[in-house]
Amino acid sequence: MCTRPHIVVVGSSNTDMVVQVARIPRPGETILGGAFTMAAGGKGANQAVAAARAGANVTFVARVGDDLFGRKALEGFQADGIDVQHVTRDRQAASGVALIQVARNGQNSIAVAAGANGRLSPDDVRAAEGAIRSASIVLCQLEVPLETVAETVRIASKVGVPVLLNPAPAPEQALEASLTAAISYLTPNETEAAQLAGGDGSGRTERTEADDSEAAAQRLREAGAGTVIVTLGAAGALVASPEGVARIAGFRVEPVDTTGAGDVFNGVLAVALAERRALADAVRFACAAAAISVTRLGAQPSIPHRAEIEAFLASQTQA
Ligand code: RIB
């Protein structure tokens, strides 16, 4: 890599309150958990940090509250070298908070109080048009208002910058056709792919999951998305592009906490694509980063730096 690519991330920032539990409690049930930890999170912020640690110059467009959590979040972004001139400190709303339970098998459940994230506006994005113009790629998720994401996509399309949309959390309704058609890279997980493509993502058997993901990816491509990459957790990813469908194998690791693994995948994928790596190679690089992240607790604390991703991949090749 000769020069660091410039990536703009538009999205959320949260403080994660994490309790480790033996298993995720059922509705109405109280269980005694283990250690409590607080860590920086939020899908947008996690992706911004992942991209920065993987080697990009990152501009983050976000809103935090004018409170302790907001100040801490800003300090964290700056420590990772992220350009925060478009991170607004909002006096009308508190910083976003996520309540997270992490089970012994690494799975989690998350409830988010959006706070200031819910006030990230199309005007905030218009104020960052200059940064978007000079970016190699723009990265968005759906933890901020959809109209803000739509404005981001509109501006990026107008100035010819590709958009990577990670449709998480899954929207209640299908995305508008004009929005889908302007997305260069759409990166749902299996459930999100099924929901976006018109299914509900439930009731599937082991045997048909892969076929369902491929069918959903193809439907999303028919709806206009350029390349659809369905993340499959430990199983890697399914890539549906104009060149056809390919499966990229995942990496076998001992999971501690899967929180933010999808975000790491997206942030690192954006960097690899901005560096013009071949698509399969870019997806493998992103899968490696996500695999490392699940071996550690917490969203942003678990995000690897580039050297670690490269060392991990080298060790896999030698194994
Ligand atoms: O994707 C993981 C993230 O989802 C967490 O960091 C939490 O803040 C929620 O936004």
Instruction: Convert the pLDDT of each residue in 107-141 to its tens digit.
Output: 899 999 999 999 999 999 999 999 999 999 999 99
- Tell me the pLDDT band of 172, cut-offs 50, 70 and 90: confident
Phi and psi angles of residue 228, each rounded to the nearest 5 degrees, phi first: -115, 125
Q: Is the pLDDT of residue 211 over 80?
A: no
Q: What is the pLDDT of residue 105?
A: 85
Distance between CA atoms of 7 and 165, rounded to whole angstroms?
Answer: 13
Residue 213 · residue 236 · CB < 8 Å: no
Give the confidence band of 70 by pLDDT, cuts at 50, 70, 90.
Answer: very high
Instruction: State the CB neighbour count (10 A cutoff) for residue 176.
Output: 12
Instruction: Kindly indicate the confidence band of residue 209, based on its pLDDT and cuts at 50, 70 and 90.
Output: low
Share of the chain above pLDDT 70, in %: 95
The secondary element (H helix, E strand) that includes residue 314 is helix 306-318
Within 8 A by CB and 6+ apart from 288, the residues are 251, 309, 312, 313, 316
d(CA 31, CA 86): 41
Please report the pLDDT score of residue 203 as a whole number: 42
Mean per-residue pLDDT over the chain, rounded? 93
Which residues lie across from 232 on neighbouring strands? none
Active site residue 263: yes
Provide mean pLDDT across the span 223-230. 96
Measured between alpha carbons, how far is residue 79 from residues 49, 53, 74 in Å?
A: 10, 11, 9
Higher per-residue pLDDT: 200 or 149: 149
Helix (H, G, I), strand (E, B), or coil: what is residue 249?
Answer: coil
As a whole number of angstroms, the distance between CA 125 and CA 212 comes to 35
**In degrees, to the nearest 5, what angle opens at C-alpha 79 toward C-alphas 186 and 43?**
25
Under CATH, domain 8-318 is a member of which superfamily? Answer: Ribokinase (3.40.1190.20)
The pLDDT value recorded for residue 34 is 87
For the sheet with 14-21, list strands across it. 36-41, 14-21, 96-103, 108-113
Cα 47 to middle of ligand 1, angstroms: 10
Q: Is the pLDDT of residue 204 over 60?
A: no
Would you place residue 318 in the very low, low, confident or very high pLDDT band (cuts 50, 70, 90)?
A: low
| pLDDT recorded at residue 2 | 60
Cβ atoms of 87 and 61 closer than 8 Å = yes
- The rounded percent of the chain whose pLDDT value lies above 90 is 88
* Marked catalytic residue, from 67, 83, 90, 263: 263
Express each pLDDT in 17-53 by its tens digit.
999 999 999 999 999 988 999 999 999 999 999 999 9
At residue 202, the pLDDT reads 46
Alpha carbon of 260 to ligand 1 centroid (Å): 6
Protein residues with CB under 6 Å of any ligand 1 atom: 12, 14, 16, 41-43, 46, 98, 110, 112, 143, 259-260, 262-263, 299
Q: Rounded to a whole number, what is the distance in angstroms from the first to the last CA of the chain?
A: 25
